[in-house]
Amino acid sequence: MTIYHDILKQYWGYEDFRELQLEIIESVAAGKDTLGLMPTGGGKSLTFQVPALAMEGICLVITPLIALMRDQVERLKSMDIRAACLHSGMTRQEIQIVLDNCLYGDFKFLYVSPERLGSDLFLQRALGLPVNLLVVDEAHCISQWGYDFRPSYLNIARVREYFPSIPVLALTATATPEVVEDIQDKLHFAAPNVFKVSFERKNLAYVVRETQDKDKALLQVLKGVDGTSIVYVRNRAKTKQIANFLKGEGVEAAHFHAGLNDQTKQERQAAWKNGTCRVIVATNAFGMGIDKPDVRTVIHMDLPDSLEAYFQEAGRAGRDGQKSYAVLLYHKSDSTLLKKRLSDNFPNKKYIHKVYEALGNYYQLAVGSGQGMNFPFDLQDFCGKFHLNMLQAYNGLKILELAGYLELTDEQDSTSRLYFLSSREDLYHLPRSGNKTDRVLQVLLRSYTGLFSDFVRIQEEVLASRLQMTGEEVYESLLYLSRQGVIHYIPRKKTPFICYTQSREESERLHIGPEVYEERKKRYVERIQAMQAYAAEDQPCRSKRLLQYFGQKRVSNCRQCDVCLRKQQEGLRQYEFEDISRDMLAALENSNPDLEELIDSLPYDSNKSLKVFRFLCDRGDIVQREHRIFRKTD
């Protein structure tokens, strides 16, 4: 038993670590830079939370998803561990408060979104923090070669320089061998040090089904396998359409995408999680941070952009270890759609220049001005005014972001925040009028704690229902209190922002280098080709292809994907296959014949025996060395 076991038991109530968790913990505790690769749900959070609790000081966690960040902070707080977060939607004042709390309040965890790391305010103040460990979650985002590169991750290298003697722990659930190298390089690892949990999912059968009629195939899968399901589609409209189709066929279903309002999202998620709704039909906005162990099927109606994305999404099935299915429904025309995505994702450079020019005009910025300026951004309005294709314009802006001209913050902050400027004492002295504002104030104080020391997230609708008022009335009252200087109120924002990181250039002089365009485009093509090959080819074993793609060596066939099952049965009845393979393995128990001797020794048709022989070889049950055949014992 180690001190880490004690912490695990004390805070989480778990008896033992999962595969490689303890090894990763001990590695960082020994001060080594460490890269941990674990499939989603493998338990990455504990690998930094446990050692950080054993150390003095504060653990800095860099993670890109605000919702996940909040979730983890709440979970830690519920265990009486002090934790806070900093992300892009926050004001300067909020940031100051959080950093003060961290400095003087014995906080153990500070979660930071990567954009925040670049700000001088953060860097100046963070330097004073007693940081004990730097954690980089979703570490593949630092690699240009990864499928989800985020330029803000490059700020991490700067933070590293501030804390040269603090170990870094990088964590990810997907990384090809090339990305594994790149992560260690970009984070300046003192020495290579990787822990990799096998990505093999023994209880998950991967299946590709080529079909002309995906709706029908979907229904067949859902009728064939009971239990909870996630159905992934590419666009928002389709989520609703498929959910309606399923409901019409008597399957309990709901749709989900990022455009729904928060309350609807929460309700649908909760209904699916507690089993009242069996199937959720969603875009890829669904699933991150959702920890439901008994998902029996994950069905893709469209091809994702990469095997990395596919593996992540499909991997949400069967976390409880029970037999589950990851089904990809494929039609030949899907390949054409993939190619279309290439031109959407990489509009030609001339087009990108045009988008840049239009943006400058949209904000009426003169060439040479604008640096550091922020503007609310409405993509639809922008594209409408300048006759641009929304998808291509959006991706053009993303490329301009990579090239360093601007930043596009599209994560919207959908909760309001509030902080009391008056002390509790002062409030007692406020005249009691019994009017709306007064009632709002009272309910506010009763509903939330911590309002005097930090910004607290509030929901106007919740207050409204307690007060039997409308959300609008609560909003008005809060604005009034804010104008009176009683509270600092930040209503939720719904618009994304654009920030000019450089002054506006002449558009002919824009430089969009190969590292942000040609090379990325090439990798994108490689990724969609790998996805396409997975869907269209009926060799090799699906699990093997995925694992090899992620650099796992020595993988055997899974025996349960559509490829393995087809092979198993090709020309042979199941009982024939079983009889022959049993006798063949028995014949190899005590001797190592050559192929001819082996086939002759069996009382079956030699063609059939040969088929079984090949199958067992493929599966890795038997091996042929220098013409002799051996049974694999392990």
Under the rule (CB under 6 A), what is the footprint of ligand ADP?
14, 17-18, 21, 38, 40-46, 291
> CA angle at residue 8 from 183 to 59, to 5 degrees?
45
DSSP state, residue 130: -
Query: Residue 321 Cβ, how far from ligand ADP at the closest point, in Å?
Result: 12
Query: Residue 64 Cβ, how far from ligand ADP at the closest point, in Å?
Result: 13
Contact between 578 and 596 (Cβ < 8 Å): no
* Residue nearer to ligand ADP on the CB measure, 42 or 89: 42
| Residues 6+ away with beta carbon under 8 Å from 97 | 419, 453, 454, 455
Which residue has its beta carbon closest to ligand ADP?
A: 43
Residue type, 208: V
* Residue nearer to ligand ADP on the CB measure, 13 or 431: 13
* Residue nearer to ligand ADP on the CB measure, 37 or 463: 37
Query: Residue 546 Cβ, how far from ligand ADP at the closest point, in Å?
Result: 18
Contact between 114 and 155 (Cβ < 8 Å): yes
Contact between 387 and 436 (Cβ < 8 Å): no
Count of CA atoms in the C-beta half-sphere (13 A) of 578: 3
C-alpha distances out from residue 95 to 35, 84, 159, 454, 624, Å:
29, 10, 17, 10, 65
> CA angle at residue 98 from 93 to 100, to 5 degrees?
95
Contact between 110 and 60 (Cβ < 8 Å): yes
With H, G, I as helix, E, B as strand and everything else as coil, classify residue 214.
helix
Q: Which two tokens stand for residue 121?
A: 């305010």
Q: What are phi and psi of 459, to 5 degrees?
A: -120, 115
Query: Residue 612 Cβ, how far from ligand ADP at the closest point, in Å?
Result: 39
Count of CA atoms in the C-beta half-sphere (13 A) of 147: 21
Closest CA to 353 of 520, 150, 511, 513: 511
Residue written as tokens 């002799």?
Answer: 628
Query: Residue 79 Cβ, how far from ligand ADP at the closest point, in Å?
Result: 11
* Residue nearer to ligand ADP on the CB measure, 18 or 323: 18
CA 254/CA 240 separation, integer angstroms:
8
* Residue nearer to ligand ADP on the CB measure, 288 or 595: 288
Count of CA atoms in the C-beta half-sphere (13 A) of 26: 10
* Residue nearer to ligand ADP on the CB measure, 42 or 370: 42
* Residue nearer to ligand ADP on the CB measure, 167 or 287: 287
* Residue nearer to ligand ADP on the CB measure, 45 or 322: 45
DSSP state, residue 41: T
Q: Which two tokens stand for residue 430?
A: 């406020």
Query: Residue 39 Cβ, how far from ligand ADP at the closest point, in Å?
Result: 7
Q: Give residue 590's Cα distance to chain centre.
A: 50
Query: Residue 530 Cβ, how far from ligand ADP at the closest point, in Å?
Result: 23
Query: Residue 35 Cβ, how far from ligand ADP at the closest point, in Å?
Result: 14
Query: Residue 180 Cβ, how far from ligand ADP at the closest point, in Å?
Result: 17
Q: What are phi and psi of 621, to 5 degrees?
A: -80, -30
* Residue nearer to ligand ADP on the CB measure, 46 or 456: 46
* Residue nearer to ligand ADP on the CB measure, 139 or 388: 139
Query: Residue 416 Cβ, how far from ligand ADP at the closest point, in Å?
Result: 28
* Residue nearer to ligand ADP on the CB measure, 38 or 418: 38
Closest CA to 186 of 201, 196, 172: 172
Query: Residue 449 Cβ, how far from ligand ADP at the closest point, in Å?
Result: 25
Query: Residue 267 Cβ, how far from ligand ADP at the closest point, in Å?
Result: 22
Contact between 398 and 150 (Cβ < 8 Å): no
* Residue nearer to ligand ADP on the CB measure, 11 or 386: 11
Query: Residue 170 Cβ, how far from ligand ADP at the closest point, in Å?
Result: 13
Q: Give residue 357's Cα distance to chain centre.
A: 33
Q: Which two tokens stand for residue 453?
A: 């020391």
Contact between 382 and 449 (Cβ < 8 Å): no
* Residue nearer to ligand ADP on the CB measure, 21 or 437: 21
Q: What is the dihedral of CA 83, 499, 497, 411, to 10 degrees?
A: -40
CA 227/CA 295 separation, integer angstroms:
7
